[in-house]
Amino acid sequence: MRPQLKWACFALLLCANLKPVLADEFLTLDELSDYTPDPTYDPTQDPLHGFCYGSTPGCYSNGKVTPTNTNPPQIGFTIAPGPQTGNYYVDFLVPINEAGVPGNLSFSFTETQGGASNNQTETATATLVSATPWSGGSLAGYLGISASPSNPLNAWLPYTQAHGDAGATGYYVYQADLGLTKLQPNTGWASGPLLTLGGAVPTASLIVGFLDTGSSDVATANSSAIFISGSPASAPEPGSFVMLGIAVIGLAGLGRMRKV
């Protein structure tokens, strides 16, 4: 083999065996040998389940949360079985030490295929629920509602501490009220409602939903909360830099060979 070709082949072989470094590997539930149901789940009430769509790669529960590396993501929530109609809330849980000045932070997004007939489009903004952060007990208790599951703090905080924010001690909660809305069953997710965020969310934050059906408040299953594990979309994956560097080395070597 000619010397200059060796450099090119070397670079290509190394790149082929590398992949972008991801903060979390996605698994489906049937791939988890130790998956157990959420401890606060009431089987008489149906939990919500987060999903990703559109330009956001599919995100799947890993038994603790449902992580995504896309920030901002395109997301939604389903209910199983469904459909069910009620007052729909979307909550953003931001680690205390990631919120900066909490009152200055808010999250705007667009809802399509919303409303009671899945035919409405509206914009909404999640704003701070309380200047006192959620740092103990359950999210339902913090919000002053009776919901299933109740979403205890220890369902999510240890994961946040281990995946992006070791110093987290709790969350500031931001909520948007989307009014009367029909949530679809898992298989009908594409019928809406679908949410497109207007900007990036602090890393290690969670996004959850609630549906108030009048007789009960249905919360998001602990393991179905959307977990923001990625940097804003404009930042390349670390693995991309590695592959780029190897390619440059290979081209540099090819150039040197041609000069010999």
- Helix count (H) and strand count (E) of the chain? 4, 12
Indicate the pTM of the whole model. Answer: 0.74
Contacts of 133 (CB under 8 A, 6+ apart): 96, 102, 170, 171, 172, 173
3-state SS assignment for residue 60: coil
Q: Average pLDDT of 203-217? A: 94
Which range, of 5-9, 35-39, 51-55, 72-76, averages the lowest pLDDT?
A: 35-39
Task: Give the integer Cα–Cα distance in Å for 178 and 63.
Answer: 28
- Of 228 and 10, the structure prediction assigns the larger pLDDT to 228
**Interval 131-136 mean pLDDT:** 98
What is the Cα–Cα distance from 104 to 96, expressed in whole angstroms? 13
* Mean pLDDT value across residues 210-231: 91
- Per residue in 175-190, pLDDT tens? 999 999 999 999 999 9
Q: Please state the domain extents for the chain.
A: 42-232
pLDDT score for 2: 53
